[in-house]
Amino acid sequence: MPFSRRIALLAGAAALAGLARPALAQTPAIRIGTLENGTVTWEIETIRRRGLDTANGFRLQPMILAGNPATQVAMQGAEVDTIVSDWLWVAQQRARGTGFRFLPYSTAVGGVMVPAQSPVRVLADLRGKKIGIAGGPVDKSWLILRAWSREKLGEDLADVTQQVFGAPPMILNAAETGEVDAAINFWHFQARMQARGMREIISVETAAGDLGLDPSTPLLGYVLRDDWIAANPALAAGLARASRAAKDLLAQDDAAWDELRPIMQAGDEAEFQALKAGWRAGIPAPGPVDAANAQRMFATMAELGGDELTGGLSALPEGLFWWPE
């Protein structure tokens, strides 16, 4: 190739590269408030590493915050465009006029775990025993299990057991040291417990199904604002598509999980596999949330959780759940 031709090609490539950099910088960003070590990070990193955001017309920009309350404050203050939270919080905010809406993210829930050698085989065996519960007295898993106990056993677990409430790591430790006889923990801590030899006597999913509720109802979702969706319909739809693409990838591709392993804080291979299986089990079916099913679940939890859980809501507000058309 003549020297002049090579120079022309190099100049053209440089010009294209120069154009590409500003184009990427001009791609609109979606700011997501998240925790440094939260499980939501696994989806966020998959979206970014695999270019699922830019393929859908945006750059996903994580903003690391110090805890779930901080993410909620950032969302309320419009410092971020989205966070992941449960639909009950979103419902309370929407009822107060925020215009928040919910895009499904995960159905993952836990269950009741006991040590491998425990004589406890079924929930009724916990009468008179001590249960450790992450999330507080109005934890949604705890409320569904209480409702199951009332309907199936004729007694409220809260009345026939002693409860210890605490942060998930504390409940994990209490279960391992025998300080409590059983534990109800967040799904990823439950996965760690299972990897360490503990066993589940009943899942929240099973309890919900027995109560006539739909256990496939996503409890966690991306929080978006009505006005942001209206102003950025393509970005909102792009986020939904990117999230779905990441889920489809992580559902099938073990290599994608190998990329995430350094940020998953798995203590060993068993924990890594348990966390992967637990996350995959929480992938919701594509499509909008069934508002009627969510309302039935809300009513079941509200009966036991009262105003402390519902914030005074008697029903889920209209327009709570969003899905791109």
> Mind listing the pLDDT tens digit for each residue in 109-146?
999 999 999 999 999 999 999 999 998 999 999 999 99
Short-list 284, 279, 281, CA closest to 216: 284
H helix and E strand count, the chain: 14, 10
Residue 135, pLDDT score: 86
Query: What's the N-to-C CA distance of the chain in angstroms?
Result: 52
**pLDDT beyond 90 at 234:** yes
- Helix 233-252 and helix 40-49, axial crossing angle in degrees, nearest 10: 100
Residue 18, pLDDT score: 47
**287: region left, alpha or beta (phi > 0 left; psi from -120 to 50 alpha):** left
Q: Which residue has the higher pLDDT, 10 or 306?
A: 306
pLDDT band, very low/low/confident/very high, at 285 (cuts 50, 70, 90): very high
pTM of the entire structure? Answer: 0.90
> Mind listing the pLDDT tens digit for each residue in 148-167?
999 999 999 999 999 999 99
Mean pLDDT of 42-58: 98
> Mind listing the pLDDT tens digit for each residue in 292-302?
999 999 999 99
Mean pLDDT of 303-308: 95
Tokens 């440094």 map to which residue?
36
Full set of structural domains in the chain with CATH: 27-107+217-293+306-310 (3.40.190.10), 111-210 (3.40.190.10)
What secondary structure, in 3-state letters, does 71-125 show? HHHHHHCCCCCEEEEEHHHHHHHHHCCCCEEEEEEECCCCEEEECCCCCCCCHHH
Residue 325, pLDDT score: 84
Structure tokens at 39: 């499980």
Residue 5, pLDDT score: 43
